[in-house]
Structure 1
Amino acid sequence: MTQTTAKKILLNAFDMNCVGHINHGLWTHPRDQSHRFNELNYWTELAQTLEQGLFDGLFLADITGVYDVYQNGIELTLKESIQLPSHDPSTLISAMALVTQNLSFGVTVNLSYEQPYQFARRFASLDHLTQGRLGWNIVTGYLDSAERLIGQKGLKDHDARYDQAEEFLQLCYQYWEGSWENDALKKDKQQRVFTDPNKVHLINHQGQYYQSQGVFQVAPSVQRTPTLFQAGASPKGLQFATRHAECIFIGGDQPEKIRQQVN
């Protein structure tokens, strides 16, 4: 008799710091409460409900920019609240972590509009506060409206965005993995030594897109590098995801198509 091995499924909720997320119009239902997305207890209650239901994680989508292509404007986007208004998802994480013990949090952040140092510092800080329950969904953007918001005319070339993303990741790895040794923190009150200076190292990066020199401000967190998600579907995106991501979004309407992506 052939013995089968049980497979483990990790169950994640999918939401966004806005009204309704992808269920546009559901906010009009009498029992829907997503109009309260700007209230902190809306999210802490959701986190507690998910943990009680044995969910493994809450994944938070996000976009930079607005949907303004349909009918050449944002009238319908505003009128029916199609991911507008929407708020920064990373602001929710520490509060939800406080009221849970096991629930993890995946956060979408578009690296095209971030500086690697500030981003790495923010996520290392959150990894400390969540005790290692943090993930980053890496995206490079797809909306021209986002580019106009930061003073640019339109999206960079697709492959150039991934080239920039590659350097962004390499620099973040230097911050998270390379600046502090595991035993750098001493916390020795008698000797007045909190950190051993010999175990903290300068980062010196001179790249095409980014330059950085100095010591990372955050001591090693539980994971150091947060769990990495990626959803690239193009050949360049799949290459990027294969190099970096621990969790990859795939899709297809037939098993054979899924098999090709996995291969």
Structure 2
Amino acid sequence: MSGTMIQIALVVWRESVEALLVIGVLHAWLQRQPAADRTRGALWLRAGIVTGLLAALLIACVILFVGEWLDGDRQDYFQATMVLVAAALILQMVYWMRRQGPGTRRALEGRASQALSAASGWGLLLIPALAIAREGSETTIFLYGILASSGRGVDLAAVTAAGLGFAAAIGLYVALQFGARALSWKAFFRVSEAMLLVLAGSLLMNGLDRLISLDVLSPLSQPLWDTSWLLDDARGVGGLLATLTGYRARPELLPVIVFGGYWFVVSLLGSWLPRRAAAVS
């Protein structure tokens, strides 16, 4: 499997697990309610799931339509922008989840309780609908950015990778729900956060490469070094590493500054946010 396909599977895996987590929390909460409320709530929950899927599909169609409608340089600029937006959203999502994670379950159950006690169940419909629509729209942007950065479109390999990611998400969710000893939600979020941060760095470098090729930015120098003799970023293991991490065998000054700055910011946020998490949970 190529680096691009691994990235696609990773994104679908992580985003699907998050959507399944929201649905699972709400479903488990409903099982503890009186029979009448449980039946009524289950109907609204299913309606919310369907609504969220339809909204996510609509957003995906809009993004794909815009990408196909543009031509020439405008499409190049749009794709470069989407790659950078995807990188920024991944970074924001990781640290938002780190801040909100400890209190997410309690917040979902509290909102569901308020919705079910109201005269209508629209609130209970909106919780999963918004969660799925959000995860679906993020997934669309991430996948568009990944495909744009690799210069390829939606094909059988991409669909297969997405399917494998979704199947892996269902398998992991079931394992975690049944309390597999070797697995835990805490470990899942830690591992997937690290993988997503690496992916965001790769997308950032790809977006930067596109802006340099479009003469929007200057590379600021000729290549500072050349390690292609050891690890060529255009083929083999080096190409896989370049796709997954943003490695460059012959980097100019600007990419070096941006890549180093990205990981410096990530390390700062990583040391600051865990202390904040306890205060907001």
Q: Shared fold (TM-score greater than 0.5)?
A: no
TM-score (norm 1): 0.29
Bigger proportion of residues as strand: 1
Bigger proportion of residues as helix: 2
Higher RCO (CA < 8 A, seq sep 6+): 2
TM-score (norm 2): 0.28
